Amino acid sequence: MAWFVLQRLFTLVATLFGASVVVFVLLEVLPGNAAQVLLGPDAAPDAVAALASRLGLDQPALARYGHRLAGLATGDLGDSHAYGAPVLQLIAERLALTVPLALLAMAITCALALAAGVYAAARHNRLGDWGVMGLAQIGIAIPNFWFAILLILLFSVKLQWFSAGGFPGWREADGGGILPALQALLLPAVALAVVQAAILARITRSAVLDVLREDFVRTARAKGLSRRAALWRHVLRNAMIPVVTVMGLQFANLLAGTIVVENVFYLPGLGRLIFQAIANRDLVVVRNCVMLLAAMVVLVNFIVDLLYAVIDPRVKVSGL
């Protein structure tokens, strides 16, 4: 198990290094002047030169990349040009909203998808199966930002059960609290979860149907185990490898999907920070946010690899 984890850690570090090289090349090495982009096309040449010197753009590319790596290692991500604040502080403040939002959306996705997928597989080629797959097809076709607007119209404008936007904060001292904060995140989480749940339900159904045809399932049923018990105790676990793979990819998609949904609900999260940084041409923030999203995707894939070994011990034995 230790060798399996070390292999995955090496892959994680190598992937992060490759991602940092790609981000650096795209934003700072390809033709173009980042200082000119920040200040706009009408900026005075002296101002552009001064900003380029402050950002270190007058140094060789290799020296700049080494400085970026040192900053990532020590937590010194530089200062935002638009906000005039340390980028690490801005990202930490926004992650306090985005990570709980993505986790809540992922929990809703898993609950809906696993229940719907197992239900459809248990009623293969019957009315329940057709109904669930039809709803899943509709869910895949609905853009999450459009569904978010529908949720606002129904639950905020029509029924007035939830706020149409904004975030009260996690602390009661700031006028918020745990329950008000979760209530503010519920509609955005549902909007993010619908499409992902529809995709995962179809994957779960296919994986469960494949396992249902295995000999050990017939043996368990022949020994007197009920169909429900066989599904949830034996079939689902053996079908979880492809399901967990998709879950890992979906969590990364949820983090990226917050860019749109957070702007629909006016939530001060990482997605809105990225949107504002792009609008303000704040390349320092954009660079570090892109690197953070890449690191999150790689970390999620690392966790999924470890879950493979927990679900199916044959994975760590074979070294896959």
Last residue of a domain, one of 14, 42, 74: 74
Last residue of a domain, one of 19, 53, 74: 74
So what's the pLDDT on residue 143? Answer: 82
Q: Is residue 303 domain-resident? A: yes
Q: Is residue 301 domain-resident? A: yes
| % residues pLDDT > 70 (the chain) | 87
We report the CATH number of the domain holding residue 171 as 1.10.3720.10
Q: Is residue 82 domain-resident? A: no
Contact 243, 314 (CB under 8 A): no
Of how many residues is the chain composed? Answer: 320
So what's the pLDDT on residue 37? Answer: 66
Which residues, at least 6 apart from 285, have a Cβ–Cβ distance to it below 8 Å?
80, 81, 82, 83, 87, 90, 273, 274, 277
Kindly report, residue by residue over 290-308, the tens digit of the pLDDT: 888 888 888 887 787 777 6
On whether both 32 and 112 belong to a single domain, the answer is: no
So what's the pLDDT on residue 55? Answer: 67
Residue 148 confidence (pLDDT) above 60: yes
Angle value at C-alpha 233, between 227 and 234, nearest 5 degrees: 85
Query: Between 129 and 37, where is the model more confident?
Result: 129
Residue 28 confidence (pLDDT) above 80: no
On whether both 100 and 139 belong to a single domain, the answer is: yes
On whether both 62 and 155 belong to a single domain, the answer is: no
Q: Two tokens at 314?
A: 């044959």
So what's the pLDDT on residue 245? Answer: 77
So what's the pLDDT on residue 31? Answer: 56
On whether both 173 and 310 belong to a single domain, the answer is: yes
Grade residue 57 by pLDDT with cuts at 50, 70 and 90: low
Grade residue 196 by pLDDT with cuts at 50, 70 and 90: confident
So what's the pLDDT on residue 159? Answer: 84
Grade residue 268 by pLDDT with cuts at 50, 70 and 90: confident
Span 75-98, average pLDDT = 82
Last residue of a domain, one of 45, 74, 103: 74
99-103, 186-190, 218-222: least confident range = 218-222
On whether both 240 and 294 belong to a single domain, the answer is: yes
Report the candidate in 137, 102, 143, 142 with the shortest Cα–Cα distance to residue 116: 137
Query: Between 270 and 305, where is the model more confident?
Result: 270
On whether both 23 and 169 belong to a single domain, the answer is: no
Count of domains in the chain? Answer: 2
Residue 261 confidence (pLDDT) above 80: yes
On whether both 134 and 244 belong to a single domain, the answer is: yes
So what's the pLDDT on residue 36? Answer: 66
Span 222-231, average pLDDT = 73
On whether both 146 and 291 belong to a single domain, the answer is: yes
- What gap in Å lies between CA 267 and CA 100, rounded to an integer? 12
On whether both 186 and 259 belong to a single domain, the answer is: yes
So what's the pLDDT on residue 314? Answer: 56
Domain that holds residue 18: 2-74
Q: Is residue 185 domain-resident? A: yes
Contact 98, 92 (CB under 8 A): no
- What gap in Å lies between CA 152 and CA 170, rounded to an integer? 22
Q: Is residue 148 domain-resident? A: yes
So what's the pLDDT on residue 89? Answer: 86
Residue 319 confidence (pLDDT) above 60: no
On whether both 132 and 278 belong to a single domain, the answer is: yes
On whether both 253 and 114 belong to a single domain, the answer is: yes
Q: Is residue 14 domain-resident? A: yes
| % residues pLDDT > 90 (the chain) | 0
Residue 265 confidence (pLDDT) above 80: yes
Q: Is residue 81 domain-resident? A: no
Grade residue 59 by pLDDT with cuts at 50, 70 and 90: confident
On whether both 227 and 201 belong to a single domain, the answer is: yes
Span 62-86, average pLDDT = 77
Mean residue pLDDT of the chain comes to 79
Grade residue 135 by pLDDT with cuts at 50, 70 and 90: confident
Q: Is residue 79 domain-resident? A: no
